[in-house]
Structure 1
Amino acid sequence: MIAFVFPGQGTVRVGMGGWLRRDPVAAEVLARADAVAPVSELCARGPLERLVDAAQPAVTACNLAALAVLTERGVRPDVVAGHSVGELSALCAAGVLDVDATLRLVAIRSRLMAAVPDTGGMAAVIGLPVARVAELAAAAATPDEPLVVGLENAADHVVVSGAFAAIERMDKSEARKVVPLKVANAFHSPLMAAAVDGWALAVRETAMSAPRVPVIPNATAEPTTDLAVVKDALIEQLTACVRWAATMARLSEVDTCVEVGDSKVLTGLMRASGPRCVTMADPGTPRRLRREPVA
């Protein structure tokens, strides 16, 4: 049994997509992505500040390019999940969206979130359980300056999301480390509420098919092939917590997880939780997967 997992915008870096640009199948997808939002040059050369602003379409372009390579070589998933904006790539892998619809939706999501007037940030909190981080975030928040757990990446790797002032106020003395993230806003927090109506409209108006394989949405961390559930979870995801630790637990019995994109972040998280995971950041991964029995 094989799982495909797709990274999100927090994995963006200058130089991403290097080997994919040299693969003909992947390069064709990257060209289609550039027609919607020109990101290939930013991925290759930066600058980082502009690449962070275009992180969602940039990461998605690399995800879908890597997916195209696997598909062309006959490697297909039995279950899929995506971290944050990576969920849209996962829906493409499950047959819910085609490539062009995925690219269009990601571009809309990026624009809507960038237009949110209340800006904030995110910070990784290392070494504390989710429940304690949630308590510390709530203590630092105010009605006008929210702070919540935005990402549950692992049992002791939590990301808070919200107003900059609230992040500064949060008691950090108990954590092993607190690292500000290079992201454009406070994703998966109440500060994204202004984008929800536009996002819901875009999701509802996009043609989608029932998933061919189970999808594990961020908002529920429960496998589903119900298209209505998938749509509702995709809308909710904009302000909801990414329940990645619970998602990894759901994948604990698969034989192989493949991080489909130019990232090793999810691979590291998966290795810490038990399942074997390989990454498409390594150009040798498709060749090795073809030597193994796959669905």
Structure 2
Amino acid sequence: MSVSEQPAPPVALMFAGQGAQHPRMAAGLYGREEIFSRWMDRSFTLFGDDGDRLRAEWLAPEPSPLYDDVSVAQPLLYAVSHALGRMVFGWGVRPVAMLGHSVGELVAATLAGVIDFADGIRLMRGRIDLFADTPPGGMLAVAAGVDDVAEVLGDEVHLAAVNAPRQLLLAGESAPLAEAARRLTAKGLVCREVLARQAFHSPVVAPAVTASLPDWKAAPLRSPALTVYSAYTGGVLTDSDALDPRFWAEQASSPVHFAPTLSALLADHDCRLLETGPGNSLSALARRQPTVAAGRSSVLSLLPPGSLGDEADLRAVETVRRLLRTERTPVAPAARRTDLADSGGPRV
């Protein structure tokens, strides 16, 4: 079989969590990519009284002071990443696997049929009310291993995520987290504040997790129709976990083990990883994986690394769609683009 006749590599989708958001993320597709626009409009309708506010926050050229708060960032990340996933599905791509980081795992679960989209939106609305009232806090990215940060971990500062062998997230209330950053910086470690105003993936938000459990128990849960890797267990999402409301509720206060879970996915599948969301933070992490460095798997980002304008969004998406089609990945013809901007976008 010649190189040109080689089958296309399977595609695995990755979905980012809080911190990846930026103003007008993927907004260049709105009103111009039909499937994406239809799902975004549906999300704003399902958000009810919050819908107009969230749409305005999303489309504003400059972010409001609340843009990185759970009340804005997480519902928009969920809606945008889900709509992008639906758009990729609309091309005829059936992913061999999906993996999400934090709220990105809820996106993957929704696309896999575990959670109905309307229930996902309802859960996001509940999260706005419950988690916005948690103590003021945040998350800190540290270029270090777990042993390097052990001295600052304890009752007030917590390990929130392992994103790469030397890329961690810490979480805590504002003052203890700032003190941890000062101590780690004094040791010569590079620290960066994450765009978050709550201490997700730490015990700080445990009361909100407990309060959210009734909402999860009210949501019908199903076995996944597509393979999802869970960054909370480090492997394939089982039916048992998928059907357990407590498993989903407790994710918000549990550490994310993204790096080992991505390693597990790549051990099972030589594939093309497609970051299906704003930015390229997960793509950068994936390129550190040995199987990617060795060329067994590869990485693509669906969107530009930040707010580079509407046309940049469209060019990036078209480049990925054209590449997948050239590689003979099953991709349907481009959906008809309808310029609906003047009429306020498509209607469901």
| TM-score between the two structures when normalised by the length of structure 1 | 0.90
The range that moved more, 82-91 or 279-288, is 279-288
**1: CA distance, partners of 2:114 / 2:260:** 22
Residue in 2 aligned with 1:283? 317
Q: How far apart are residue 276 of structure 1 and its match?
A: 1.3
Match of 1:177 in 2: 190
Equivalent pairs, count: 287
SS of 2:230's equivalent? coil
- 3-state SS of paired residue (2:169): strand
Deviations 1:182-207 (A, max 9, x none): 21211111100111122222112101
> After the TM superposition, which of the residue ranges 221-230 and 190-199 deviates more from structure 2?
221-230
1:67 aligned to which of 85, 89, 93 = 85
Kindly provide the CA deviation profile for residues 9-34 of structure 1, in whole angstroms up to 9, marking residues without a partner as x: 21111121223212111111111121
Larger radius of gyration: 2
* CA distance 1:289–1:48, shift in 2 (3 Å): farther
TM-score (structure 2 length as normaliser)? 0.77
Report the 3-state secondary structure (helix = DSSP H, G, I; strand = E; otherwise coil) of the residue aligned with 1:92. Answer: helix
Gaps of 5+ in 2: 1-9, 304-315, 331-348
- Paired residues for 1:1-295 under 5 Å: 1-21=10-30, 22-35=32-45, 36=47, 37-38=50-51, 39-45=54-60, 46-53=62-69, 54-116=72-134, 118-126=135-143, 128-133=144-149, 135-138=150-153, 141-142=154-155, 146-170=156-180, 171-172=183-184, 173-229=186-242, 231=244, 232-252=246-266, 253-273=269-289, 274=292, 275-281=297-303, 282-284=316-318, 285-294=320-329
SS of match in other structure, 2:228: coil
**Structure 1 residue 149: deviation in Å?**
0.8
Answer whether contact 1:2 1:79 (CA < 8 A) is retained.
Answer: yes
- The 3 A distance-change label for structure 1 pair 248 and 228 is closer
CA distance in 2, matches of 1:136, 1:230: 38
Partner of 2:345: none
Note the alpha carbon deviations across 1:10-64, whole angstroms, 9 max, x for none.
1111121223212111111111121214323212214242321200011111101
Higher relative contact order structure (alpha carbons within 8 Å, sequence separation ≥ 6): 2
Mapped to 2, the partners of 1:235 and 1:261 lie a distance apart of 23
Q: In structure 2, do the counterparts of structure 1 residues 81 and 214 end up closer, same or farther at CA, with 3 Å as the change threshold?
A: same
Structure 1 gaps of 5+ residues are none
**Conservation of the 8 A alpha-carbon contact between 1:222 and 1:247:** yes
